[in-house]
Amino acid sequence: MKTDALRLENVERHYREGEGKLTILSGANFSMASGEMVALVAPSGAGKSTLLHIAGLLERPDGGEVYVNGEGCGSLDDDRRTAMRRDTIGFVYQFHHLLPEFSALENVMLPQMIRGLSKPMAAERAKQLLDYMRIGPRADHRPAELSGGEQQRVAIARAVANTPYVLLADEPTGNLDPKTSGYVFDALTALVRQSGVAALVATHNHELAARMDRAVTIEGGKIVPLDIGLRTAS
């Protein structure tokens, strides 16, 4: 039986609000297979960021369990959770968050070296990823010397540098113009298909969401399917 890359089981998340509590997730269930792209489409305040933080082990749920490649993460201590994030989960945000003092190549090398890979091996993989993202000729440039689309492609390369099982993307094209947004999304899709990583992509862009394998939203604390005229990305 194939193991889901990511599975949330009966996840609960509540926040205190005055004398009461605000429920974001209540008995939420979700699973995603390797190589699958799932769009997370919901209005602001519905809990998209909370869901991504819990799935990415940045935030602990109040109840339920999160499984990454079949391993339950609820009882892990902070050191093990940190190692899981580093080795099995990649993150891409609306803003690239590249380190400004380092080149594009060095930004992609760093997470690999933190994991323990040698500098030559990290550099070789970083070069391969940047070439795949069609930004290889800009590898020696610092972020300030790159366009918004180029910066985001470097951020995507960095997110998959450690060959994660799961890629979590929060509005990865939200800060880009439509043409650049489409180009970056195409690059992200190609990388997901080639690498087999499972990608959960939060977006307000229904056109991009419709190009993924399926879409979900958050309603009443549950994660439910969303029909937006999906078609498989080419």
Kindly report, residue by residue over 47-77, the tens digit of the pLDDT.
888 999 999 999 999 999 999 999 999 888 9
The domain containing residue 18 runs over which residues?
Answer: 4-225
pTM summary value: 0.88
**Within-domain flag for 178:** yes
Task: Supply the CATH number for residue 180's domain.
Answer: 3.40.50.300
Q: What are the DSSP calls for 42-91, one per residue? A: --TTSSHHHHHHHHTTSS--SEEEEEETTEE-TT--HHHHHHHHHHHEEE
pLDDT tens for 157-188 read 999 898 899 999 988 877 778 888 888 888 88
How many domains is the chain partitioned into structurally? 1
- Smallest Cα–Cα separation from 115: which of 150, 153, 164? 164
pLDDT tens for 83-131 read 898 889 999 887 778 999 999 999 999 999 998 999 999 999 999 999 9
Residue 41 CA, distance from chain mean position: 14
Distance CA 31, CA 11 (A): 12
Distance CA 48, CA 99 (A): 26
Distance CA 54, CA 191 (A): 24
**Within-domain flag for 123:** yes
Higher-confidence residue: 183 or 144?
144
**Within-domain flag for 231:** no
**Within-domain flag for 131:** yes
Higher-confidence residue: 30 or 21?
30
**Within-domain flag for 215:** yes
Phi-psi region of 177 (alpha: psi -120 to 50; beta: other; left: phi over 0): beta
**Within-domain flag for 233:** no
234 has pLDDT over 50: no
Q: Residue 2's pLDDT is what?
A: 63
Quick one: average pLDDT of 3-14? 92
